[in-house]
Structure 1
């Protein structure tokens, strides 16, 4: 349960102001059909984070525990720094015309999440706790939904009221603590 809660918290905070949350706002404004967008986000996130979690678990079999501890610890610290860099939505992440709302959302979200902070966090969390892969994927998916469903349902009303810098600072702090703890104790906590 602890792994699930950490994964949920880290990703929910990391997602605030992230390009995929900006994409959720854009999809909601463009299509004005929230439920196909929400379902599309869920499907894209499950597929993307399951693959990322699998990769994280797979990595643990190829890298020794000492090297893995250093890679993960430094990765979490790098994620902390990356959290402090504002995100913007690229033109490549915009939905392509000709698809329905659900398919457009699945494709756009899946592609936007490739190499994104939350996907890399999923890889790192799964590598840190390979025995809890399901909890990591479930937690990161719930975190994505906690951040993006309100973005779809409330749109611009919510966007201007969230202190994005503060939320990113908190997420950066959590990533930094995870990094330091991993460097000192490995995955034994």
Structure 2
């Protein structure tokens, strides 16, 4: 259960106000249909979560506990930096003419691949050796962050101070990651 809850909360926080959430809202506005964008998001996220969990599970077998904790700490630190630092604008895929499902699926799969959330999920799976629970929690976390953007579209940005949430979330990741890194080195 640790892997499920850890990845759920970390992924929900990491994806809030991030490019996948923005792209989901933009695609829902562009196509005016919720269902294909939801299915595209769900399948793209499931594929990325599975890839991350399998990679993390493989890493778990190769290295010992302290380096695994350091790997997890670094994934949180880099996620925190990514949340508080400048980021490039999201490509809204205006040139893509694949239809709502395929544009959503492929666009979100590519956008999420190699993103901070994928490293957090891989590190969670590696640290806990519960790849299935980490993948499930990560999938639910991304869905918690992105489904409201699809359903509410622009109203989500108007209702919630996204910049402040990203700053506080980034600071939390930096703090927890820093403490875990110091612990992995035996300093704390």
| Residues 1:136 and 2:148 are matched in the alignment | no
Cα distance in 2 for residues equivalent to 1:138 and 1:179: 26
Cα distance in 1 for residues equivalent to 2:184 and 2:139: 27
Q: Which residue of 2 aligns with 1:105?
A: 104
| Residues 1:119 and 2:118 are matched in the alignment | yes
Cα distance in 2 for residues equivalent to 1:178 and 1:127: 16
CA 1:179–1:56 in 2, change beyond 3 Å: closer, same or farther?
farther
Once the 2 structures are TM-superposed, how far is the Cα of residue 86 of structure 1 from its aligned partner?
A: 4.2
Q: Which residue of 2 aligns with 1:78?
A: 78
| Residues 1:167 and 2:137 are matched in the alignment | no
| Contact 2:21–2:145, Cα closer than 8 Å, also in 1 | yes
SS of aligned partner of 2:96: coil
| Contact 1:8–1:141, Cα closer than 8 Å, also in 2 | yes
Cα distance in 2 for residues equivalent to 1:151 and 1:81: 23
Equivalent residues in 2 for 1:1-189, closer than 5 Å: 1-91=1-91, 94=93, 96-130=95-129, 132-175=130-173, 176-181=175-180, 183-184=182-183
- Gaps of at least 5 residues in structure 2 are none
| Contact 1:79–1:172, Cα closer than 8 Å, also in 2 | yes
| Contact 1:84–1:172, Cα closer than 8 Å, also in 2 | yes
SS of aligned partner of 2:104: helix
Kindly tell me the number of residue pairs found equivalent between the two proteins: 184
Q: Which runs of 4+ in 1 moved over 6 A?
A: none
| Contact 2:70–2:180, Cα closer than 8 Å, also in 1 | no
| Contact 1:19–1:88, Cα closer than 8 Å, also in 2 | no
Cα distance in 2 for residues equivalent to 1:26 and 1:42: 16
Pairwise CA RMSD of aligned residues? Answer: 2.1
Cα distance in 2 for residues equivalent to 1:31 and 1:2: 38
